[in-house]
């Protein structure tokens, strides 16, 4: 599957990317995130991070489809 | 009403959106960019957002506040983009019949926006470094 990955907030600095195309066979969002962490050799702790698929909040156990846009949102820090 | 703005927020224009004849109380909060944080001298900051979800979550917070408190109108606007010291980063305003609900609802909206709306702050310091901030949940 080919998906688009979007990083937000501090994850942009952590992964060194804002948005990128990614080829993956990982079955769930959590596996996908862990795979990305392995790629960048960063901590794969998901606490506080929310996954988003096509601009809709999702669950870590959710699957995804070819062509999806998958975002990873760290804890908010507005105000 | 919840908005994101890449232009300066006009508090008087925001107030005009929510004052009305039935309201005897009005409470607002203005959050400004300050020149220090956690022992560092701050010179600027940048707010980024997941704009679609930020607008969606922000709207839900305003709607929930209207259900939870006895308020007439409520509005919030949050800046995105590059800001400097003294800039207005967030404005929250509530109009009510009576004062207590206005204070409580304003506090509720502000706290909820800081905690739940997908907006992120990157601070720039005098020493040339920068740092992402995460609000304490």
Q: In terms of DSSP H, where are the helices of chain B?
A: 11-18, 51-68, 99-116
Report the domain count for chain A.
Answer: 1
- List, in sequence order, every residue forming a beta bridge with B132; answer none if it has no partner: B122
Query: Does some domain include residue A79?
Result: no
Domains identified in chain B and CATH numbers? 2-127 (3.90.1170.40)
Confidence of residue B133 (pLDDT cuts 50, 70, 90): confident
Query: Does some domain include residue A78?
Result: no
Supply B137's token pair. 């949940």
B31 touching A (Cβ < 8 Å): yes
B47 touching A (Cβ < 8 Å): yes
pLDDT at B134: 78
A24-52: pLDDT as tens digits: 999 999 999 999 999 999 999 999 999 99
Decide: B59 and B78 in contact? Cβ < 8 Å.
no
Q: Please give the C-alpha separations between residue B78 and each of B41, B66, B131, in angstroms, as whole numbers.
A: 23, 19, 20
Confidence of residue B89 (pLDDT cuts 50, 70, 90): very high
ipTM for this model:
0.93
B62-101 burial by CB neighbour count: b if 16+ within 10 A, else e? beebeeebebbbbbbbbbbeebeeebbbbbbbbbbeeeeb
CATH of the domain at A7: 3.10.20.30
3-state secondary structure of A20: strand
Question: Is residue B137 pLDDT above 60, yes or no?
Answer: no
Query: Does some domain include residue A31?
Result: yes
Query: Does some domain include residue A43?
Result: yes
The helix/strand count (H/E) of chain B reads as 3, 9
3-state secondary structure of B68: helix
B27-82: pLDDT as tens digits: 999 999 999 999 999 999 999 999 999 999 999 999 999 999 999 999 999 999 99
Closest-CA distance, A69 to chain B, in angstroms, reads 13
B105-119: pLDDT as tens digits: 999 999 999 999 999
Which residue of B45, B53, B109, B137 is the best one to mutate when testing the A interface, meaning the one whose CB has the most A CBs within 10 A? B53
A37 touching B (Cβ < 8 Å): no
Residues B110, B60: Cα–Cα separation, whole Å: 13
Closest-CA distance, B37 to chain A, in angstroms, reads 13
Contacts of A79 in chain B (CB under 8 A): 31, 78, 89-90, 110, 113-114, 119, 135
Does the reported pTM lie above 0.80? yes
Contacts of A10 in chain B (CB under 8 A): 120, 132, 134
Question: Is residue A59 pLDDT above 60, yes or no?
Answer: yes
Domain that holds residue A6: 2-73
pLDDT at B136: 58
């Amino acid at each position: 599957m080919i998906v688009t990955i979007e990083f937000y907030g501090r994850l942009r600095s952590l992964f060194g990317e804002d948005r990128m195309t990614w080829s993956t066979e990982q079955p769930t969002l959590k596996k996908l995130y862990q795979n990305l962490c392995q790629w960048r050799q960063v901590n794969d702790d998901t606490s506080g991070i929310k996954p988003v698929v096509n601009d809709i909040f999702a669950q870590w156990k959710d699957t995804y489809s070819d062509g999806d846009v998958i975002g990873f949102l760290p804890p908010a820090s507005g105000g | 009403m919840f908005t994101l703005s890449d232009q300066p927020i006009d508090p008087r224009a925001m107030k005009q959106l929510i004052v009305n004849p039935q309201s005897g109380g009005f409470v607002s909060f203005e959050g400004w960019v300050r020149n220090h944080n956690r022992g560092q001298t701050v010179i600027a900051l940048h707010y980024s957002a997941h704009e679609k979800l930020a607008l969606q979550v922000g709207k839900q917070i305003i709607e929930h506040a209207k259900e939870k408190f006895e308020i007439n109108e409520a509005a919030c606007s949050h800046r995105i983009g590059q800001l400097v010291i003294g800039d207005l980063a967030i404005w929250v305003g509530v109009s009510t019949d009576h004062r207590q609900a206005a204070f409580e609802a304003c506090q509720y909206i502000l706290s909820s926006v800081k905690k739940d709306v997908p907006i992120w702050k990157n601070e720039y310091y005098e020493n040339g470094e920068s740092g992402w901030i995460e609000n304490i949940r």
